Every structure is written in structure tokens, then in C-alpha cells.
Structure 1
């Protein structure tokens, strides 16, 4: 299982977003009450990657989730997965499209 860091504060998110100028990362917006999100979480944690991986729980950390949506200019969905590089979502998807295969393909595509 791949490890990730949970984002729970706005300063933490701002630091991570700044760091994307140097290194891309994956971010899962996760609902702890949704079965579709539980399936996406399993796919997310199964993906083998060298990228840093982050998770925000949309109910428990609503202000962080809202700020992510605002910063990345993407309408909120849950579950939702982003590949962020240079402070922008270079790829994102949601719901049943969050699969280990899609994650790996997106990373390979954007790493050239």
C-alpha cells in the first residue's frame, strides 16, 4: 500500500501547492461516508508511484477542500483526484474513473 499525507490545515495545503513548482504530486479529495470514495481510496493507495501523495477528507477538512477547489479552479466533486504540477491541475478525474491504471497512465503521460 502506498503511503500518503493527510492535509488538514490551510498552511499545510499552501506549502504543498508551492512545492508543486519543483515536484508534481497526487491529491485525493475523499469522502469518508461515500462507498464510491472508498473504492477510489483503494485505487489511490494501490498506485505505485514516486510522486508525493496527499489526501484531504472533504467533510472533516471542509475549509481545506474548498480552498483546493478555489486554487485549482476545478468544480468540487467527491471523490476527486488531481495530478498537480506548477500549482495547476495537469490532470484530474472523479468517481469511478479513479483507478490505479488511470493514475499510472496520467503520471506517465505528464512525465513525458
Structure 2
């Protein structure tokens, strides 16, 4: 699996309109907790269905996009944070130690 970097607001619109599952990982490149959560997620992400689209946002470089994500998907901004999007709606968001590839896979598979 591989991350698709979010670098433009138009990508958020594309994710919102996309069918199926997309996951956004909002990461602070200056935060050791965020780095640990990302590493732990990547170690376990093979449990996710192969057709899950994975998006990565460097929120230090793209704060405006991070704010737009919070507004569009109606979630409180946190870092690190994952948002699981299904057919344009956020059906799961988690932050810090609650970030879990196993939980994401469980939501997708149920």
C-alpha cells in the first residue's frame, strides 16, 4: 500500500465525491507522537482491503487544507488524526493512540 499526498484543495473535493472507502491521515511532521502513530498504522495496514485509497496530509505544510478537511467532514481538528470516508461521508475519525488499522479494517468489513 502507498500514501497519496494531499497537496491541493481539489483533492478533498475528489475524495468527497469518490465511491468506496478513502482514509486520510493528518500528520504533524514536527510531532513525535504523530510519527509514532503513523509508523504503528503503517506496520499494520496490510489488514486493510487493497482497494482502500490512502491519503496523507502534512498539516504543517498544508494547514489550510487541514482546516478545510475538518469543515467539510465535520470533525474536530486533531493531530495526528485519521478520517475514514465512505461515499463522501466521514464514518470514523480517531486521533493519537486511538489510531488503529485494525479498527479501520473492522469498520470497512462490517
Tell me the TM-score normalized by structure 1: 0.86
Provide the C-alpha distance between the structure 1 equivalents of 2:62 and 2:41, rounded to a whole number of angstroms: 19
1:11 corresponds to: 10
Q: Which digits, 9 at most, give the CA deviation of each residue in 1:51-74, with x for residues without a partner?
A: 010011111011111100000110
| Cα distance, 1:24 vs structure 2 | 1.2
Which secondary structure does the structure 2 equivalent of 1:27 belong to? Answer: strand
* Number of positions where the alignment pairs a residue of Structure 1 with one of Structure 2: 106
Q: Is the 8 A contact 2:15 2:88 kept in 1?
A: no
- Structure 1 spans left out of the alignment, 5+ residues: none
- Secondary structure of 1:81's counterpart equals strand
Tell me the CA shift for residue 100 of structure 1. Answer: 3.0
SS at match of 1:91: strand
- After the TM superposition, which of the residue ranges 49-58 and 38-47 deviates more from structure 2? 38-47
What pairs with 1:15-54 in structure 2 (closer than 5 Å)? 15-19=14-18, 22-46=19-43, 47-48=45-46, 49=48, 50=50, 51-54=52-55
State the secondary structure of the residue aligned to 1:25.
strand
Structure 2: gaps spanning 5 or more residues: none
How far 1:17 sits from its partner (Å)?
1.8
State the Cα distance separating 1:94 from its structure 2 match.
Answer: 0.5
